[in-house]
Structure 1
Amino acid sequence: MNVRRRSAAALAAIAVFGAAAPAVAADPSPSASASLPAGLYGSADPQYDGVWRQSLTLLAQDTVRMVPAKQAVDWLTGQQCANGAFAPYRADTSKPCDARTMVDTNSTAAAVQALWAVGGHGDVVEDALAWLKSVQNKDGGWGYSPGGPSDANSTSVVIGALTATGTEPESVTKDGKTPYDALLTFALPCSEGEGAGAFAFQPDKAGKLLANDDATAAGVLGALGKGLVTEPGRTAGGGDAGCAGGDKPTREQAAANGAAHLARAVAKDGHLTSALAGADPQPDYGNTADAVVALAAQGGAEKAAKPLAWLQKNAGTWAKQSGPAAYAQLILAAHATGTDPRAFGGADLVKQLNATGPAPEGFKATDTLRTTNQAADEDKKDDSPFGVWWFVGVCLVFGIGIGFFLSGRNRKRQP
């Protein structure tokens, strides 16, 4: 994922699905700047990615069953405009949004997914979904800005918002076109040679589709009807086959074709490469994390093993420099592959993410995902001779029996 930028020049330079790093140089400090709102994660300028990085953070925390800080959630809900849309960042939310407020579909769709996962904000989610539906294009898709031409990334992230909230994308139509109709127009046909099966961000000025790895990762998730958070898929053979389905594949086949393109792209070095004009090619950590999610969602965790291993070995410095969205991307990649984010290449991504903003309130009441280390730490806290095992022995002596075991089991659940 690449950072969202407001300028036309930046939008032309990169695809706009995701926020791995802010538009300005990231402050590597793990704590939020005093000049920024207390509920916001990260210390870098939020002008271009505030809502996006906050949304990814809340989603990442939800994958490990954490209850986010109330002030963090309140910050996000407070960014919404009266019409339901979100801008990347509103410094003064006491002023109502107007025609100059640069709202966008990507920030809005990400906020929908995050607030739905957190729960308890149905009115905010409903208003945001209504706005997204109101700015759907005639081809069935969405552009970054309302009224702008549809692109693969924006259409995919809105599909994710729809499916995350239980809305069937095929039921959201404009002029008889569905979001999937629009998305498939960005899939390169199998006759395209090296780029076969990939997704383009948009057609170029000549109407030609050019393979784009960022758009492909987004397009795979969109074609599968998946959001930013996904589980490992079960598609046999996904991610390593050639292009199939001809020039008009089904959306499931388009997802498989896109995954196959990504698998080829990471086969040699284990990572995707950025190739911005005038710059030497460099490993693209954010898009590689996206590729891991897409490959795992389409073909299972084993299909993402190589780029995942590369991230575990190499992404630590990038995440520290880039901030909360980068940590969140890695956590979402870990979640998509069934990997423990608390032991990701020797790093505790959850701890590092939480250190960039307000501490979460705890774990969800239904959480049973305690790690071995957590259990060990809790056991160490009970040094009293009247500890749990002594108590068990006494209770057995007095014949409490099964009733004790039931209450003890409840007592040991993660709060």
Structure 2
Amino acid sequence: MNGLVDEMNEKEFRSVFTKEQFYKIDKMIEEEKLLMVNVILLLKNAGSCNELKSFFDYAFSVSFLSDRFEKMLVDEDKKNEEKNEKLLADFCECYLLLCDKSIPDELLSIVVHCLLKVASKKEGNEETQKEVEIAMLCFNCIDDGTKIEQKLYLNEISEIIKYHQEHHNLTQLAYQSSWKFLINRFFNNISLEEVIVNELHFTREARREIEDMFKSVNWKRKEEGKGEKEVKEMLVIERWLLEIKKLISSCTLWNEECSGLIRSICQVFQASRDDHPDISHVCIISLRNASDKKNMEIDVLQKEGVMDVFLEEMNQSTLDDENISHCLNFFLDISERLKEKKDDGETDETKRIELKRKIFEKMEEEGYEDIIAGFHEMFDFLNRSYVIYVLSLNVSDYFVNA
């Protein structure tokens, strides 16, 4: 059954793991017709697929089995000398991997404490690595908006990340998942920004991980032709990119390490554009968001190839409406920022004018003016379809005037 679960697509998964099926499992446990050890084996594997493949299945959350697991978690945690730590961890993992609802407050501290004990194991053998990977995946199932006190997790998660940076004891997925958990907490606690960027060096680590995996993926090979290892690496790359997208949108402490990360995103976008739309889509949004960040210097975007990416993209014959919107917004942001005179010295103002000249010349080489004119009739349609981006209807706003 576990083998079949691994190969399921979303439709197949939903047809098997229904509310009725979870009811049957719950009833068989009640009648002692099904051993809990077998339930755990099946549900942990099903839950891993649910999380990794983003099936977002809701059946478990509204089932009696979910209620049973919540009660078992509380009851097992109340035990003292008789407490079974392994069983408690299993309950936590099954529950979180399949649950798609807010965790009750009485369970939150239990699951965080329990999973951190598993995730903090430092042995590098395959069995321990798998245990840690599952525990870290479970952390990612805790809703972004759930407030967790720093004292419950920060020291332990920081130690897990730092230890891996020195000893490389985690799998690629477990390491990425530890970062995801920490960045998810950032949205409720802005003070984590300093830890994420300057203490634990997120941008440096994300770049290194992406570049290592990028080299071992054949980007021209279709998904069905890739091996299991290659598919998993692409999954982890996409997960890194999703966290980068979140942080670019919200973080104010980008430092010099970010420059190389921007280059890596450009590289992944160009490699994935033709055959891997989910990945290229995350890349283009991240690069577009970077153009709007005042602490992201335009000359860095130019030097690292972001300008080239958007100019190349606008020349694509298969460009879809949403990407047109991202491209136009990118150049609108760049144009507006370069038209703002600097008040911080003659040197900076001279630099701004020189950068304007370089970008203008680049636009001329690529036939940018003709492209913009060709898109002008679509501006109003794009605004109605992608209202969040709010494009200007004035063509001249998209030009960096020399």
TM-score w.r.t. length of structure 2: 0.42
Which structure dedicates a bigger proportion of its chain to helix? Answer: 2
Return the index of the structure with the highest Cα Rg. 2
